[in-house]
Amino acid sequence: MTYGIISWGNSSRCIQVFRMQKEAIRIIMGHGNKESCRNLFKELNILPLMSQYILSLLTFVSSNREQYFANSEIHNINTRHTSTRHLPRAHLNIFQKGVYYSGIKIFNSLPRDIKTYTDTIANITLYSYITIRMLPI
C-alpha cells in the first residue's frame, strides 16, 4: 500500500483505499463495521494511510534537504522563521497539492528539534513522532 504513496497519497481515490484499509483492520481484529478503528491501528502498530503519506513526505524532505532553501538563504532579515524551509510562490492548486510544496509545508510544522536531526535519526524520530501523535485518521 505504501508503494508510490508519495505520488498518489493526496489523490481523491485515497479515501477509498483508506476505507479498504479500515475494513481489513476490522476483519483482522474481528470487530464490527460501526466500531472505531483508531485504537485498532494503535494496537496493531499500523499507520493509517494519511499518516503513511505524511511520513513519506517528511522522509523525502528530510533526506533531500539540499533541494530546499532555508528562509535565511533567501533574505538576511533575522526573523523567527529563518530556520524553516522557504515555501515557493504557488499560483496553481495542483502545485500546492504536489510533493514539493506540501512536503515543505508539513516539514515546517514539525517541532524545531526534529527538523535539525540527521537523516537516519530523523527517520526514526519522524516515525515515532507520527505514531505518538497518530496524525489524521
Q: What is the mean pLDDT of each run of 10 residues along the chain (137 residues)?
A: 79 88 91 87 86 84 75 66 68 70 79 64 66 55
Element at 10 (helix H, strand E): none
Question: Looking at the chain, how many residues does it have?
Answer: 137
| DSSP classification of residue 70 | B
CA 26/CA 35 separation, integer angstroms: 8
Structure confidence at residue 63 (pLDDT): 76
Phi and psi, residue 44, nearest 5°: -85, -5
